[in-house]
Structure 1
């Protein structure tokens, strides 16, 4: 019953609908008591020879009127109760989705996509069933069962009613025991479903890699293993669930046996009529549904309780990075000051950054180079305010980035990550993601800056070409340039290209950088790259090594130092020499 108390906030929210629905349900339970009594009267009138056509028509009319009223009321209680449960599902989905969008990257690093999807689908469906079918079975089993028992006791024979209820404690003890087993097994089944969901999502996303390495059979075997685990755990749930109906049927059967035996005795003693016994057994038949509903209730409650617990756990994870009280509701602009003494990623022991200091004036370009893991992306993550917990300060304009609202900060930054994500939509919709109503002329202008316009025109549908999930139908270079165009559509104060030109050739890279320089003359740009040709033109270049800056300056200044940057440049020149032939030029 705990799950109903936990959902009390929702029942209060939909109080009107539930009151109407449950009232209708109670009236249906009362109206259902009339036909068995009518049948008893008809049988007694037949036995005494008093049944006439007029009397029979009266009884039939009563039953027809009751049936019509029941029909109408069942329609409305279903609308009120099941309609409210659908509303609960909507609220929970919105809560989860808002929670997901507010969480920082560390949240997703610790959780699998498939598991989060299972929370938003399977778990919510189980809670929805609790607020709909659970409320129905609880109220209906209590009201219908209660009204039937009262009708049996007060309108027929209280002694026979007590005798018929003797087996009921057996049902209460059994169903309570089954419910406890069901709770733990259902949680295991939900966890297994999450694993399978995650495996499915991962395999579909990585199908190209799986096929390239010829791992279809191994991946299918792994999927089959997880699928079998889901079946096994759900079968354990089903084995417990399947005990409810036979147990209840056994109890009801014992009640029928007792009522027929003792009812016959009472008729023989002339303390009960045959019509009363028929009516009593008809009422007893009406108890079958409340008893079955009572068994179903344990199933529904335990499923709902386990699922709601999983949802609560997810929603209880605090938002790590949130807006300050009275945060600035303006887009930042101006110079960027990056002054970090120390920063560690959550859960890491080693510093990701230490003693990283630089000033980037508005309109300048910063180039960041270094080996993989040197701290390049960590700098960008802090600028985007995806992580906090550092020692130092980051300013954008005259204020710390923490003083701005997150939404305003990120509206001022156009970020093109290493892992390019395109939505399963048209190329136009992907580029105009920030403003779906943008004019085609503006989208084409931006596409020309990103040097993707000509490629788009070669597609059969042009800008209306659907790229497929994650841009599966495009090449790596095309995805990169569309991602750059999407970032440029923001007209950002700061454009960040995180190794975003790695999949294009040197000629296209040079053309894109030239276009960006012309189009963003007064705006700030940060470029990280392994290819030094992408950052040669930068006003300031920093060389990262093991989380700190080891060299800083312009291209010419760094070349004159003959340090790490010089070595990297010479090595890349040598690679070009091998590819094209010629001499290595020192600058």
Structure 2
């Protein structure tokens, strides 16, 4: 249970509910002792009557009293059990809530590289299935474990008080029970880990299939994907059946051992009564009832052990992520105002997962209010520049500065809060268009939303939708065309009104006329903002204050539009090529 020790802080947080639940459990188990005692008294009274030592009326009075006491104690025990469940199970739901939020917050803090190394389905499984299995430990497993322990202590103590010798014989099967639990628990832990790993693979496969359903249909891959899913499902059935077989051993084993204990009570207790060691036959009845009261606790040991072992395996998987340190850390807790000057001083960067060097000794400065355009072939390092400015990654060499301060020394929240970013692959949430735009500014009014939509030249498209700005988008914005998604994403960045605006090839899916209109609107909007435009089109870059050309992570050309056209090079070739394509079009 080493991994489950991580949850001790939650037990400390909810210690009042926890100890109250344990206290109620103790009281409930004490009341459970009365029933066998009253039944034993009733049988003893009948025995006394058969020997002529009690009158019929006295026996009746004794039986009526015992029945009333049995009903009363049973009701009280039932009420206490209800409150025990209400206290401990509700506490487990609070722990589940806290743990899910802790995992989610940690997911938010982890860096971009983490999400490249891990699959979405696995991440989802750990915050849902794994946390749920941990909750089963915090709630039902803990509750029934204490219930079992307390019942054992209370009942065995009572049995020892009545007859130590008979108790000793009755409990002889317990060592076999202890060894059985030890062996089966080890098997459950091992097989439960394999089951959870398979469940993550299944969730990942399903999530990827749903996300890529259009590609699957376009390439007619349904049959192959179905075969892959079937194979994973078979593996899942195999691993779950393997776990179920071990779990299934507990029930019959426990009932068998309890049955042996009952036989021991009848045989040994009967001989003791015949020999006179036990003066009252009601004691045998009490012992049989006590043994049978231990049936559920003993049988539940398997279930409890199974839940604990599964929770241990799940918490281990959760801890693996919780112990993962983010590559990008906020080193400055104080407020860091950002004006907008950006400087790259001999910056180099290599992606750890692919070992591809994206930038090598890149240097440039963009002053507040200026616009920089970055052009280059695919893989030249253009998007990496924007990722370093947003601190999605940290440079391996050189320094990135904002307002002449090392970007690592700025408050991370303030830095990212000062950037309006439009990614290359526009991502929209499964929500209304209005809420997707408001993602950049939660308190934005409808008029502000319409204003930025007009600047992004998407307002007229939205107006033609049946529900206009209340139109609900499909997953990842699938309801919209590629160009519409890009323009909604631009509107979202504009409404943030941040001092730095980063546009990562965000006009690639729009026609040249719409591109021209958007760029004209951006010129007015971005007069006092630092803007960096990454593009493959000269038309997006020509009005920038400065243009740099990247090739294999190095700057090979830089200057204004006119300066670059006056010299032979990549920019001039690209310009002439795109001009000729436009004329042919």
**Shorter-chain TM-score above 0.5:** yes
Q: Note if 1:77 corresponds to 2:81.
A: no
- Distance, in Å, in 2 between the alignment partners of 1:242 and 1:278 is 31
Q: Note if 1:32 corresponds to 2:38.
A: no
- Distance, in Å, in 1 between the alignment partners of 2:178 and 2:3 is 19
Q: TM-score, normalised by structure 1?
A: 0.96
For 2:285, the equivalent position in structure 1 comes to 278
Alignment of 1:21-420 (within 5 A): 21-49=21-49, 50=54, 51-155=58-162, 157-272=163-278, 273-325=280-332, 327=334, 329-420=335-426
Q: CA 1:326–1:196 in 2, change beyond 3 Å: closer, same or farther?
A: closer
Q: CA 1:267–1:130 in 2, change beyond 3 Å: closer, same or farther?
A: same
**Superposed displacement of residue 326, structure 1:** 5.1
Q: Secondary structure at the match of 2:496?
A: coil
Q: CA 1:341–1:399 in 2, change beyond 3 Å: closer, same or farther?
A: closer
Unaligned runs of 5+ in 2: none
Can you list the C-alpha shifts for 1:432-455, whole angstroms capped at 9, x where unaligned?
113333211111011000001000
- Distance, in Å, in 1 between the alignment partners of 2:425 and 2:320 is 30
Can you list the C-alpha shifts for 1:23-65, whole angstroms capped at 9, x where unaligned?
1111111111110111111111122224544333321221122
- Distance, in Å, in 2 between the alignment partners of 1:566 and 1:325 is 44
- Distance, in Å, in 2 between the alignment partners of 1:350 and 1:426 is 39
**Superposed displacement of residue 533, structure 1:** 1.2
Q: TM-score, normalised by structure 2?
A: 0.96
Question: C-alpha root-mean-square deviation of aligned residues, in Å?
Answer: 1.5
Is contact 2:341–2:366 with CA below 8 Å preserved after alignment?
Answer: yes
Can you list the C-alpha shifts for 1:228-262, whole angstroms capped at 9, x where unaligned?
21221111111111111111111111111211112
Q: Secondary structure at the match of 1:352?
A: strand
Is contact 1:342–1:391 with CA below 8 Å preserved after alignment?
Answer: yes
**Superposed displacement of residue 3, structure 1:** 5.0
Can you list the C-alpha shifts for 1:330-355, whole angstroms capped at 9, x where unaligned?
33114221223422122444421112
- Distance, in Å, in 1 between the alignment partners of 2:219 and 2:3 is 48
With 480-489 and 330-339 compared, the bigger mean Cα shift is at 330-339
* Alignment counterpart, residue 515 of structure 1, candidates 508, 512, 521: 521
Q: How many residues end up aligned between the 2 structures?
A: 577
- Distance, in Å, in 2 between the alignment partners of 1:268 and 1:37 is 21
**Superposed displacement of residue 322, structure 1:** 1.3
For 1:471, the equivalent position in structure 2 comes to 477
With 220-229 and 186-195 compared, the bigger mean Cα shift is at 220-229
Is contact 1:137–1:296 with CA below 8 Å preserved after alignment?
Answer: no
With 395-404 and 211-220 compared, the bigger mean Cα shift is at 395-404
Is contact 1:340–1:390 with CA below 8 Å preserved after alignment?
Answer: no
Q: CA 1:128–1:217 in 2, change beyond 3 Å: closer, same or farther?
A: same
**Superposed displacement of residue 398, structure 1:** 3.3
Q: Secondary structure at the match of 1:561?
A: coil
**Superposed displacement of residue 553, structure 1:** 0.8
For 1:529, the equivalent position in structure 2 comes to 535
With 137-146 and 301-310 compared, the bigger mean Cα shift is at 137-146
Alignment of 1:452-467 (within 5 A): 452-467=458-473
Q: Secondary structure at the match of 1:387?
A: coil
* Alignment counterpart, residue 443 of structure 1, candidates 443, 446, 449: 449
**Superposed displacement of residue 158, structure 1:** 1.8
For 1:487, the equivalent position in structure 2 comes to 493
**Superposed displacement of residue 429, structure 1:** 0.4
Can you list the C-alpha shifts for 1:178-229, whole angstroms capped at 9, x where unaligned?
1111111111100000011111111111111111111112112211211221
Is contact 2:477–2:485 with CA below 8 Å preserved after alignment?
Answer: yes
- Distance, in Å, in 1 between the alignment partners of 2:424 and 2:7 is 43
- Distance, in Å, in 1 between the alignment partners of 2:356 and 2:286 is 80
- Distance, in Å, in 2 between the alignment partners of 1:382 and 1:166 is 69
For 2:13, the equivalent position in structure 1 comes to 13
- Distance, in Å, in 2 between the alignment partners of 1:2 and 1:534 is 58
Q: Note if 1:422 corresponds to 2:428.
A: yes
Q: Note if 1:557 corresponds to 2:568.
A: no
- Distance, in Å, in 2 between the alignment partners of 1:361 and 1:10 is 50
For 1:584, the equivalent position in structure 2 comes to none
Q: Secondary structure at the match of 1:542?
A: strand
**Superposed displacement of residue 80, structure 1:** 1.6
- Distance, in Å, in 1 between the alignment partners of 2:119 and 2:510 is 32
Q: Secondary structure at the match of 1:502?
A: coil
- Distance, in Å, in 2 between the alignment partners of 1:25 and 1:514 is 73
- Distance, in Å, in 1 between the alignment partners of 2:6 and 2:295 is 29
- Distance, in Å, in 2 between the alignment partners of 1:221 and 1:563 is 52
- Distance, in Å, in 2 between the alignment partners of 1:68 and 1:255 is 28
